[in-house]
Amino acid sequence: MKDINVDVAIIGTGTAGMGAYRSALKDTDNIALIEAGKYGTTCARVGCMPSKLLIAAAEAAHGVERAHKFGVKAEITRIDGKAVMKRIKSERDRFVGFVTESVADFDPKHLYRGYARFVGDNILEIEGHTRITAKSIVIATGSSPAIPPIFGDVTDRLLINDDVFEWDDLPGSVAVFGPGVIGLEIGQALHRLGVRIQIFGRGGQVGPLSDPEILDYTARTLGQEFYLNADAHVTKVKNQSDGVDITYMDLDGQEITKQFDYVIAATGRRPNVDGLGLGNTSLPLDSLGLPVFDPYTLQIGDHPVFIAGDANDDRPLLHEAADEGRMAGRNAANFPDIQAGKRTTPLGVVFSDPQIATVGQPYSSLTPGCFAIGEVSFEGQGRSRTMLVNKGLLHVYAEQGSGLLLGAEIFGPRAEHLAHLLAWCHQQRMTISEILAMPFYHPVIEEGLRTALRDVNSKLHLGPTPAPGCIDCGPGA
């Protein structure tokens, strides 16, 4: 076995791993970058980008279907599933190519292939051929889909979202389990491309929403377009020679069995840490076997080991993984001189139609009695009506006393852009009155946001300057 000593060992070459490598390289050239699978990020290969390609095709079809509402006579003669998938895979491969090209620019002496596992606190072994002793280690192993036990009888017809982007043609029918980000995006897109779909959830959750009014409105609105049961009671999932039988209680309480070509399990993801041999270390682990870490330094306990990106299961988003990778790489290369990184405002987007977005503090984390809610319905919003996208509801949350913007939950048109505006304001710790002092053009969807801001401002009774801090629930309470 080959023995080497390095300053920093990084496990994984996804978004977080590459960020950690580039950051650590600023302080040391003695690095080991370890990868067992294909080069290329989850985002480029099976996540953000291919799903948006599928959604783009669905939007094109949906635009034709609704053109008659504008007086434009058009119809879809055929959706060529093979052509749809060919474009998706071609563009997906292009995006992945950009990532692999960047890895090709890395110094070859830093690259090691194979599965790494801990055999000590600072010692890694790679499949029996290399032992690496590292002063610091960064875990950036990403995550994998979690498959519930109910799918144990389903074999070749059980898919994860990764598999969808390897199809050569669109199927006839799909049952989607999990109305989260992945399930909603893929499910609605397939529906608009002519695939019969049903989406099943548990506990009533839809996307990342926690505000009960927004959640209820979203479930009802999406349910008008396709079958969505966010709190389904599924009793059996059985594999058949020609499909998968799903037995469930329908929305009217009747037990029904329907057959689908495939089942997509969009039921969440789990960090890829099970095979790392963490039990061979003294690293602190929680009840699920996941490392306990500081979200501002990414350090695990007081060890020279850091965990970044989807592997830590904190904020599994590309921009967060990139930030965390840089933070972890810097701290690993400079240990024990570690620094807390600046965390950006939490921001999440679901590219459904209407879109879903969350900014800052979610409704579920707010302290009752210490905040006010501003609301706008997009059903009567001017620009939204001109484009016939006038469905949606937006809530903004502001702190009583200080008037600070706390967060927002959105279901509506162009929510991705509204959410960015609010996230930038939130990160600058702006008050509602300060945001209202910014320009709003006419006619734009952002005027709907202004309506919600005015609504919450009236409930806070704020003037042109922030009110004194609330003694009971303001800063320092």
Residue range of the domain that includes 384: 347-460
pLDDT at residue number 465: 47
Contact assessment for residue 99 and residue 26, using Cβ atoms and an 8 Å cutoff: no
CA pair distance 85, 82, nearest whole angstrom = 5
pLDDT at residue number 327: 97
Question: For 100-129, how does the pLDDT look when each residue is reduced to its tens digit (9 = 90+)?
Answer: 787 878 899 999 999 999 999 999 999 989
Residue 303, domain member (yes or no): yes
Which amino acid type is present at position 105? Answer: D
Question: For 371-419, how does the pLDDT look when each residue is reduced to its tens digit (9 = 90+)?
Answer: 999 999 999 999 999 999 999 999 999 999 999 999 999 999 999 999 9
The pTM of the full predicted model, rounded to 2 decimals, is 0.91
Question: Quick one: 139 and 285 in the same domain?
Answer: yes
User: DSSP letter at 285?
Assistant: B
**101 or 341: which carries more pLDDT confidence?**
341
Averaged pLDDT score across all residues of the chain: 93
**pLDDT above 90 for 455:** yes
Residue 470, domain member (yes or no): no
Question: Quick one: 401 and 319 in the same domain?
Answer: no
**48 or 94: which carries more pLDDT confidence?**
94
pLDDT at residue number 46: 66
Question: Quick one: 256 and 306 in the same domain?
Answer: no
Residue 304, domain member (yes or no): yes
* Tally of CB atoms within 10 A around 436: 16
**Average pLDDT, stretch 240-246?**
93
**Average pLDDT, stretch 78-106?**
89
Burial 175-189 (b: 16+ CB within 10 A, else e): bbbbbbbbbbbbbbb
Which amino acid type is present at position 315? Answer: R
Name the packing angle between helices 81-104 and 15-24 (round to 10°).
20
CA pair distance 35, 226, nearest whole angstrom = 41
Question: For 23-43, how does the pLDDT look when each residue is reduced to its tens digit (9 = 90+)?
Answer: 999 999 999 999 998 776 666
pLDDT bracket for residue 96 (50, 70, 90):
confident
Question: Quick one: 254 and 158 in the same domain?
Answer: yes
Integer angstrom CA distances of residue 41 from 47, 143, 151, 314, 390: 9, 11, 27, 18, 36
pLDDT bracket for residue 244 (50, 70, 90):
very high
Least confident of 9-18, 240-249, 337-346, 459-468: 459-468
Question: Encoding tokens for residue 342?
Answer: 């600046």
Number of separate domains in the chain: 3
